[in-house]
Structure 1
Amino acid sequence: MLTSLFPKYHRRYLESPVADWLAGFAEWLVSTGYAHDPAHDHVRRLKQVLEGRGSVTPDAVFSIAELTTMFAASRQQPLFSGTRRAFERFLAARGRLIVEPDCNRFAPLLDAYRHHLLETRGLAASTASQHLASAATFLAEAVPADASLQELSAQTVQQFVAAAGQRVKRQSLQHTIARLRAFLRFCHDRGELRARLDIIDTPRCYRDELPPRALAWHLVRKLLHSIDRSDPLGCRDHAMLYLMAYYGLRPSEVVALTLTAIDWANKTLHVEQCKTHAVLVLPLSDQALRVLKRYLRCGRPGSALPQLFLRGRSPAGPIKHTALCDVYEKRARQSGLPLQGSSSYSLRHAFAMRLLEHGVGIKAIGDLLGHHTLESTCVYLRLQTKALREVGLPLPSLATARIRSRA
């Protein structure tokens, strides 16, 4: 592996005192999904660090503090920090990393809560991590260092909720309070709290209290046109946002697409809708085919992974739906267009409004968007003000009203 990464100077690495470490690290990088250039740079930096440390035996182990000291002396700190993180993951995979005990006094409680979420409640790992993050934030902010959990009061809980309400919107605060209730209930059942503190008022959110934010179609086209597709990331971002705008896909549906989802012979795209779990077969226009072909040719890194869209940084891996939302915010900010307050879902809403304006029926739009009921689709009718004006009843004139009042 060292020979392929360093075809001209591989002897320097093979004859190095830490050649075994470099060879193992190089093999791990390539097998994990790192491209040639990042793997080359990581191995080169590790060689400098290990040789600067002195003697390193093949069976050596490292601690987190030791790694921090080893890599802190480098001048190009950001680049070497990335190599340190990669080497740390390599050591953990090989069982060579000394895991230091967690000094957090609530670590045993959080570990017990993790086991409760996963084993007793049967939550998914991602959902359990959100619960644990909310619990850890609450313990760090609401419980002073010199106080115990037994001293926690309802007033302290309310102060934490009020502070959280200043940072997030009502919809997000609802999730925070729900997770906080579950954690406080767990603590009371374990005897960690003197009284029940899980009775917390939650903000009210009403269905359809606000209409969906749909972008005007000319803004959608300007946004896509503003993306620079001369680099791989630009090709990838343009293709993902194009599918959301022209096919109404959710971010989670875009990132779940695979290479086999594209039927080039029949010019169709197979999409598994995340809510209805139905497979939707969409026709691909000539423009869509050109966008996808350009991305596969210029934007997608060479990888054996089945996912269509991969993250731009090594190691290669599928992009997450949250990253797609960040991509929209980044491209909207760079475009200079008046897109304040919009999100990636605004492209999906724009797709629905475009179909509605072209006379497509509500049932067909709902099927394309993957809605369970027509009630979810009918919210777009509130945005079609032109049609609403046509069906509105005329107001009686003032003269007619006076005649009726005299009669």
Structure 2
Amino acid sequence: MIQELFVFESTRARQCAAPMLREREEYLDYMARQGVGRSRLRSMAAMLLNIVRFLELESSRAVSIEELQRGTERWLTEPGPRTARRPTKVSGMRFLLTAKNWLRFHNQLTIEALDPGPTEIIVRGFAHYLSVVRGLAPETTRIYRTRVSHFLEWALDRRASLSVISLSDVDDFILMKRASGYLPRSIVSFCGAIRMFFRYAEERGWNNSHIPLNLRGPHIPRYLSAPKGPTWKDVRRLINNKTETPVELRATAILYLCSIYGLRSSEVVGLRLSDFNWVSETFVVHRAKRGRVQQFPIQFEVGEAILGYLQRGRPQCVCRNVFVTLRPPYRTVRATTLWGIAADRMKKLGITSENYGGHALRHSCATELLRRGSSLKDIADFLGHRDMRSVSIYAKYDLKSLRQVASFSLAGVK
């Protein structure tokens, strides 16, 4: 690998003479297979030389976080053999991150296992209860875990134990959140997570304050006067993209899936290449809630957008998810990335909406289905809801469409 990366013999000789050549080449070869370019590989190889020098590594051995931090300080303060370095935060972070990744690759980074505090132990058990016993989606479990962890850290600073936390403590916490600027929907989310946690705590006899029975969040009208997503005319503008850059090709394919099929962000990022059958022109979606699998026909424009991304925008990599990052090392995009993709294009086009992001397009899809005459049951099935209660909100937006007609056609979205 070193011979392939560098042209000058002096550079090759310096790289080959330094300790741990085999370990450095194995890591560089791995990064090359992940799609990292030659320029970045050369930069990484040069940094690995500095890591070996400032950590005083002669052979493969375990390195602690504390030793890494000391090596980073030396890297920032001691002059190099050829050029002087300016101690900046960026250069220090680059040294530390490269060293961590390299040592983790060889399983030589030792991290002292911290004894988890009582709060962390309780929250871990609660998260297991949510995902395994209650069967909640991973994203819902993550949100509930974060909310409850935040509350317990605050509450256990005021109270000696979980058993003496009362409803008045929860009220004080909610008032504190409201005073710090949290919106009503966020307060409702906190109330829901705390209510669920104290049900879990009561089942185990940890608290008998009857908090779940008495905790009420702020009232938010279920049926608002305006749709939460953009109009269907604006959705057409959103997906009608002619730019051929990898960024725009990926964004267009994602927006088609969110708006035409009403997929959740986690369902879009969970799509794998094997989920698409281009012969039968169908694809399957693994629903985020309850783990159901649902099959859809590939609508023509959606298929063209996805193929355009796969052929001209998606990098070749070992990751089997459809949507991957644009820069190496390539990996699946996060669900939170989709919010930015949708919101950025909506704002760029001047599209106004109560909500932004992929979920706003899911609302637009449901509203358009209803406008075209689909029944609430058909919409619930199409969007992957368990019953019609979740989609009854859209009836408020188009009362004339509440009639039983033929199923909605996906053709002609433009």
Q: Is TM > 0.5 for Structure 1 vs Structure 2?
A: yes
1:116-161 alpha-carbon deviations (Å, 9 max, x no partner):
34677756887766555445433554566xx773598655543222
> Which consecutive residues of structure 1, in runs of 5 or more, have no partner in the other structure?
389-407
Partner of 2:160: 149
Partner of 1:46: 47
Q: Report the CA distance shift for 1:63/1:197 in structure 2 as closer, same or farther (over 3 A).
A: farther
Partner Cα distance (1:355, 1:120) in 2: 36
Q: Report the CA distance shift for 1:160/1:27 in structure 2 as closer, same or farther (over 3 A).
A: farther
Q: Report the CA distance shift for 1:130/1:5 in structure 2 as closer, same or farther (over 3 A).
A: farther
Partner of 1:99: 111
- The alpha-carbon deviation at position 189 of structure 1 amounts to 10
1:332-351 to structure 2, matched below 5 A, reads 332-339=346-353, 341-351=355-365
Partner of 1:17: 19
1:222-237 to structure 2, matched below 5 A, reads 222-225=237-240, 229-237=243-251
Amino acid in structure 1 at the alignment position of 2:298 = P
Partner Cα distance (2:13, 2:206) in 1: 61
1:156-175 to structure 2, matched below 5 A, reads 156-165=169-178, 166-175=180-189
- The alpha-carbon deviation at position 324 of structure 1 amounts to 1.6
Partner Cα distance (2:228, 2:111) in 1: 48
Q: Which residue of 240, 255, 258 corresponds with 2:254?
A: 240
Give yes or no for the alignment of 1:282 onto 2:297. yes
Partner Cα distance (2:286, 2:202) in 1: 42
Q: What's the TM-score, normalizing by structure 2?
A: 0.73
Q: Specify the SS of the correspondent of 2:325.
A: coil
Q: Is the 8 A contact 2:380 2:388 kept in 1?
A: yes
1:77-226 to structure 2, matched below 5 A, reads 77-78=89-90, 81-82=93-94, 84-92=96-104, 94-100=106-112, 102=114, 107-114=116-123, 116-117=125-126, 122=132, 130=143, 133-138=146-151, 140-142=153-155, 149=160, 154=166, 156-165=169-178, 166-180=180-194, 201-204=215-218, 208-210=222-224, 212-225=227-240
Q: Report the CA distance shift for 1:354/1:68 in structure 2 as closer, same or farther (over 3 A).
A: same
> Which consecutive residues of structure 2, in runs of 5 or more, have no partner in the other structure?
77-84, 403-414
Partner Cα distance (1:114, 1:46) in 2: 39
Q: What's the TM-score, normalizing by structure 1?
A: 0.74
1:232-381 to structure 2, matched below 5 A, reads 232-275=246-289, 277-285=292-300, 287-339=301-353, 341-381=355-395
Partner Cα distance (1:303, 1:55) in 2: 35
Q: Is the 8 A contact 1:257 1:307 kept in 2?
A: yes
Q: Identity percentage over the alignment?
A: 21
Q: How many residues align?
A: 379
Partner Cα distance (1:361, 1:134) in 2: 36
242-251 or 260-269: bigger deviation:
260-269
Q: Is the 8 A contact 1:248 1:349 kept in 2?
A: yes
Q: Specify the SS of the correspondent of 2:321.
A: coil
Partner Cα distance (2:313, 2:273) in 1: 14
Q: Report the CA distance shift for 1:220/1:88 in structure 2 as closer, same or farther (over 3 A).
A: same
